[in-house]
C-alpha cells in the first residue's frame, strides 16, 4: 500500500472517531460545529460570526446561516451589529442557548483533555509538530506539481 493511501485511511479513522463522539452527543457535524463555536466564543468572551464558523469548520455559509436562523427562532442566539464592520452580525448565546451549547463544549473539552493526558504531553506536542511539518511539505509539493504529475 502506498503511504499516501495509508495517510488517507488514518485521516478517515480520526474522522470516524470524531463522528462517533458527535453522534453520542446526538448531533450532526454541522449542528455540533455551530454549537461548539458559539459556546467557545461565549466562554472566551470573543465575537462569533457565521463567516467565522463557516471558515473554521469548513461548512458552507448557507448551511451555517440556516442553522443560526433556526437557533434564533428557538431563542438560543441573538444578533448584534459589529462595531468595526457594519456588514458583520455578531452572534450571542442566550441563556437557553447556553443550556444547549455549553454542555457540548464542556464535554468535548473534557474528552479532549483526557485523551491528550492519556496520550501524553510529549507525544501530543510531537504529533502536532509533525502534522504541521507534513502539511507544509504537502503544500510545497502541491505548489510545484502539475495535474499530470510533472514537477515544475
Give the model confidence (pLDDT) of 35-73 as tens digits: 999 999 999 999 899 999 999 999 999 999 999 999 999
CA distances from 62 to 52, 68, 78, 97, 108 (A): 13, 10, 18, 21, 25
30: exposed, middle or buried (Cβ count in 10 Å: 0-12, 13-18, 19+): middle
Angstrom distance (rounded) from CA 84 to CA 88:
8
Q: Report the pLDDT averaged over residues 78-97.
A: 90
Q: Report the pLDDT averaged over residues 91-115.
A: 97
E strands in the chain: 77-81, 89-93
Amino acid at each position: 500500500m502506498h503511504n499516501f493511501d495509508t495517510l488517507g485511511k488514518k485521516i478517515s479513522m480520526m474522522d470516524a472517531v470524531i463522528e462517533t463522539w458527535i453522534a453520542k452527543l446526538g448531533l450532526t457535524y454541522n449542528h455540533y460545529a455551530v454549537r461548539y463555536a458559539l459556546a467557545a466564543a461565549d466562554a472566551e468572551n470573543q465575537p462569533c460570526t457565521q463567516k467565522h464558523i463557516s471558515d473554521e469548520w469548513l461548512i458552507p455559509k448557507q448551511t451555517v446561516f440556516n442553522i443560526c436562523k433556526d437557533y434564533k427562532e428557538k431563542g438560543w442566539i441573538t444578533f448584534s451589529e459589529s462595531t468595526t464592520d457594519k456588514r458583520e452580525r455578531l452572534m450571542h448565546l442566550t441563556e437557553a442557548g447556553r443550556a444547549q451549547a455549553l454542555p457540548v463544549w464542556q464535554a468535548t473539552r473534557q474528552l479532549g483533555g483526557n485523551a491528550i493526558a492519556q496520550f501524553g504531553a510529549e507525544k501530543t506536542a510531537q504529533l502536532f509538530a509533525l502534522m504541521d511539518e507534513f502539511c507544509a511539505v504537502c503544500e510545497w509539493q502541491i505548489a510545484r506539481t502539475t495535474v499530470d504529475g510533472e514537477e515544475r
